Amino acid sequence: MAKNYAAFDEAMYHVGFAKKALQGAALAVLPGDPGRVEPLAKTLGEGAQFIASHREYTSWLTRVEGAPVLVCSTGMGGPSVGICLEELARLGITHVIRVGTTGTIQEKINLGDVIINKAAVRLDGTSGHYAPQEFPAVASFSVTGALAQAASSCGAPFHVGVSVSSDTFWPGQERYDSFTGYVPRRFQGSMREWQALGALNYEMETSALFVVSQALGLKAGAVCGVVVKRTQSESVAADDVYLRALAYQIKVVRGAIKILLHIG
Ligand code: URA
C-alpha cells in the first residue's frame, strides 16, 4: 500500500499540527467533543500538554507509563472522522480508540454501562467513499481485545457487539421527537430490525472510523458510554449518567493503552 507520510514539521491543514508535536506517539484516543479532550488527556495520563485547536479538532498530548499518547477530537459524524484519520495516519498514528456516547437499543443494557463495538452497520456516507457497501465495518481484533480485557479487569459493566452508525441523530436512529416528528419510510421500523439482529446501540461515528481505518491500514477500536436507553426513552439522560459512563471509559481506555503498549 502506498504511504504518504508528512514531513516532520509539516502542519496538517485540518488538525493544525505537525508530526514533531506527537513526540513519537503512535496511539490516539479520539473523543467526538473538543471540550472533552483536555479533561480526558489529564485523567488518562500524566504531563498533558496542549498541541492545537482548529475547527472541531482539539489536540493534547499525554503520557501513559511514559509513552506519548495523542488525544484528539473528531467532531460529530463520519466526514470529520475521515479527515481526522487521513491526517493522523500521515503523522504516523497507527492505533486509534474512539471514546464516545451512545444510545442502547437493547433492554438488557443499562444507562451508564459501556459498549465496546466490534463492528458497525454502515448507515453513514463517508465509509462508502472508501470501500464498497459490501465491505464490512470491523474493529481491530487486538484493540478490541485490549478494551474488553481492560473492561473486565476494572469491573466496568460492559457489552461487546455491533453498533448501528447513523449519519443523523433523528431519522437514521428512528427518533420521533424531531422538529417535524416524521421518520422517512426507509427508517420506520428499522430500530426493531436492528434489535432483532442483536445490534446493541446507535451512534454516529464508528462505521466511518472502522472502514476508513481499514482502508488506511490503521488499527481501530471503539468504546462508548450509554447515555440513552431507547427501549424506554428517546432522550439523553442527565449528566450524572454521562459522568458515570465516562469514569468507566477512562479506566477501560487507560487499561487498553497499557495492554497495547506492551504488545508493541
Ligand atoms: N449518540 C447518538 O448518536 N445517539 C444516541 O442516542 C446517543 C448518543
What single-letter amino acid sits at 38?
Answer: E
* pLDDT given for residue 218 in this prediction: 98
Pocket of ligand 1, beta carbon within 6 A: 101-103, 169, 173, 202-204, 227-228
66 C-alpha to ligand 1 centroid (Å): 34
65 C-alpha to ligand 1 centroid (Å): 32
Which residue matches cell numbers 459522568? 243
**Active site residue ranges:** 14, 87, 175, 230
Which residue matches cell numbers 500521515? 90
* Residue among 227, 233, 235, 241 whose CB has most ligand 1 atoms within 8 A, to mutate: 227
Closest ligand 1 atom number to CA of residue 228: 6
Closest ligand 1 atom number to CA of residue 169: 3
104 C-alpha to ligand 1 centroid (Å): 8
* pLDDT given for residue 3 in this prediction: 67
199 C-alpha to ligand 1 centroid (Å): 14
Give, using CA atoms, the residue closest to atom 6 of ligand 1. Answer: 103
* pLDDT given for residue 2 in this prediction: 54
Give, using CA atoms, the residue closest to atom 5 of ligand 1. Answer: 103
**Structure-derived torsion over alpha carbons of residues 196, 192, 80, 150, reported in degrees to the nearest 10:** -40
Question: From residue 125, how far is each of 78, 89, 97, 129 by CA, in Å?
Answer: 7, 21, 21, 7
Query: How distant is the alpha carbon of residue 69 from its chain centre?
Result: 16
Q: Where are the domains of the chain?
A: 19-263
CATH label, 19-263, candidates 3.30.1490.20, 3.40.47.10, 3.40.190.10, 3.40.50.1580:
3.40.50.1580
Q: Per residue in 96-121, pLDDT tens?
A: 999 999 999 999 999 999 999 999 99
Closest ligand 1 atom number to CA of residue 101: 8
* pLDDT given for residue 264 in this prediction: 65
21 C-alpha to ligand 1 centroid (Å): 32
Task: Please enumerate in sequence order all residues whose Cβ is within 8 A of that of 162, keeping only pairs 6 or more positions apart, or say none.
Answer: 117, 118, 119, 120, 121, 197, 198, 199, 200
How far apart, in whole angstroms, are the C-alpha atoms of residue 58 and residue 38?
8
Closest ligand 1 atom number to CA of residue 103: 6
Which residue matches cell numbers 459512563? 245
Residue-level pLDDT, tens digit, the chain, 264 residues: 556 688 889 999 999 999 999 999 999 999 999 999 999 999 999 999 999 999 999 999 999 999 999 999 999 999 999 999 999 999 999 999 999 999 999 999 999 999 999 999 999 999 999 999 999 999 999 999 999 999 999 999 999 999 999 999 999 999 999 999 999 999 999 999 999 999 999 999 999 999 999 999 999 999 999 999 999 999 999 999 999 999 999 999 999 999 999 986
